[in-house]
Amino acid sequence: MKTKHRLKIGYVGVSIPAYFAEKYKVREKAIAGLTQYGEELDFDLVAIEQPVLSSEDAAAAANRLQQSGIDFLMIQNAGCSMGEQLYPLLDAAPRIGLWSVPDPSLEGEVQLSSFVSMNHYASVIKRHFRGRDIPFKWFYGEADSKRFRDRFTVTARALRADTNLAHTRIGWIGGISPGFVGMLPDEAMLRERLGVSVEPLDLSDVVKRAEAIEPNRAAESIREIKGAASSITVSDDSAFDRVTRFYLALHDVSQEMEFDALAVQCWSTIQQLYNIAPCMAYSWLGSEHDMPVSCEGDVPGALSMHVLNLLSDRKGSSTLLDLAALDPERQAIQMWHCGVTPRHFANEDGIKWVDHVTLGRNGTDGPYGVAGDQQFAKQPVTLSYISENAEHILVVKSEVVDHPSAGFDGTRGWLSKIYLNGNPIDIWDLINTFTVRGLQHHFAMGQGDVTRELMELAAWRKMQLVEPVPYQDYLQRDGVNV
């Protein structure tokens, strides 16, 4: 996974002597299970191995955990636990997990009373500490149970993304494309809410770097890029040299400035400066370098792509698309853009390098190269977009499906079996929701289903989910009658 900062999870097991956490080795089994998860899910475990049997023990454990700089603390009620043991542990990490396990027998003398104590701890946090607004998630079951595994895996992946979000740097090159004011970022708010920094750069400076690329280096990349295509129909072969140079310049800038994502204006300034459509550069950065690049200078789009990448275990970046067409009879939507999607999305026909499908086609200044052309392979996908300066997030699960129409030229696919926030949604309700709520017309799309992780990340970060607005024939106004 494309992460710079490793997630650190703490563990402590609390109980009191009248119960039998030691007899049943509750802590030992928990630590063994979390250690294995750390290897699988890419996090470091900081575990308190000793029994924590009093508030003094809890204070000492909390001090050790706090000094280790953990991101998340699993507080396990290894046995019945007193409320006072919880208090110091709430200062040990910014996020808390409450974990209970079943009693070894369902009759006779109670041995652990773990669940009762977890219930008690949740109540203490919500009632006694209500003013602190402490976020927590509860867990139940042995570490090797399916229910615990599924629930904990979602949390580990969401927190891995969250930890890296706080260190994200986005390069914003050339500003937005003409008229795309709905995608202007509030840089101060993104830093305040998520820790994300946006670094504006001049497009002309990147073009100058492209022009200075050493010829042999450009030629080697051209051979590699052309070799990956199933066909090439670019009108002006010199465009391949320029777009490849632009790709190399973007790559160099991203490496030097340690950017996690790029938002780059792809029209109309770049045509005036360098006579190219840079789509292929964005596509190649995504497929070969895991670098998300949003077109049209869309910073929230770049951030949304980066989040999908952080949540995914797949190689290669997500992509940014328009919702370009509807097929209500098949409950399908066509997701499309004019040539930027990385090649790992393609079906067996692969990616083709072509002239840009819209820029310059009705004037005397085109055509421009180079863009990609591909149909997406059948696969589960996640759509998302972080908007309102990270106050809202769109969470859609869907699948790329076969369709009798090939779709518009460019990089595209038909999606069906659509879920919003985990619930199935009719296509008219979906479109009504997008339009009435005034969502931006870009959608980040990643491979696989990471919607549970997205919704958990949203909860930790206090981002509101985009709620559905059922279709009606009368006027609906966001915040008034929806």
Share of the chain above pLDDT 70, in %: 99
Closest to 403 measured CA to CA, from 326, 345, 338: 326
pLDDT digit string, tens, across residues 408-456: 999 999 999 999 999 999 999 999 999 999 999 999 999 999 999 999 9
Closest to 185 measured CA to CA, from 193, 427, 13, 462: 193
Closest to 227 measured CA to CA, from 343, 362, 62: 343
Average confidence (pLDDT) over 360-373:
88
Give the whole-angstrom CA distance, residue 68 versus residue 125.
Answer: 23
**Residue 364 clears pLDDT 80, i.e. is over it:** no
List C-alpha distances in Å: 407 to 282, 289, 376, 395.
21, 28, 10, 24
**Exposed/middle/buried for residue 338 (C-beta within 10 Å: 0-12, 13-18, 19+):** buried
3-state secondary structure of 330: helix
**Exposed/middle/buried for residue 380 (C-beta within 10 Å: 0-12, 13-18, 19+):** middle
Closest to 185 measured CA to CA, from 383, 390, 340, 385: 390
CATH class of 7-165: alpha beta
Contact 95, 4 (CB under 8 A): no
Average confidence (pLDDT) over 12-29:
98
pLDDT digit string, tens, across residues 130-150: 999 999 999 999 999 999 999
Average confidence (pLDDT) over 39-60:
97
Average confidence (pLDDT) over 251-271:
97
Looking at residue 1, what is its pLDDT?
Answer: 44
Helices (H), 257-395: 269-274, 279-289, 299-311
Phi, psi of 113 (to 5 degrees): 55, 40
Phi, psi of 13 (to 5 degrees): -115, 120
pTM, two decimals, is: 0.96
pLDDT digit string, tens, across residues 289-327: 999 999 999 999 999 999 999 999 899 999 999 999 999
**Residue 200 clears pLDDT 60, i.e. is over it:** yes
Order of strands, sheet of 197-201, starting from the edge strand that comes earlier in the sequence: 197-201, 169-173, 261-264, 293-294
Contact 70, 10 (CB under 8 A): yes
Q: Which residues pair with 348 in a beta bridge?
A: none
Question: For tokens 């086609």, what's the residue?
Answer: 361
As given in the structure block, the two tokens for residue 127 are: 């009632």
CATH class of 169-465: alpha beta
Ranges of each domain in the chain: 7-165, 169-465
3-state secondary structure of 428: helix
**Exposed/middle/buried for residue 39 (C-beta within 10 Å: 0-12, 13-18, 19+):** exposed
**How big is the CA angle at 385 (ends 379 and 386), to the nearest 5 degrees?**
145
Helix (H) or strand (E) holding 151: helix 146-165
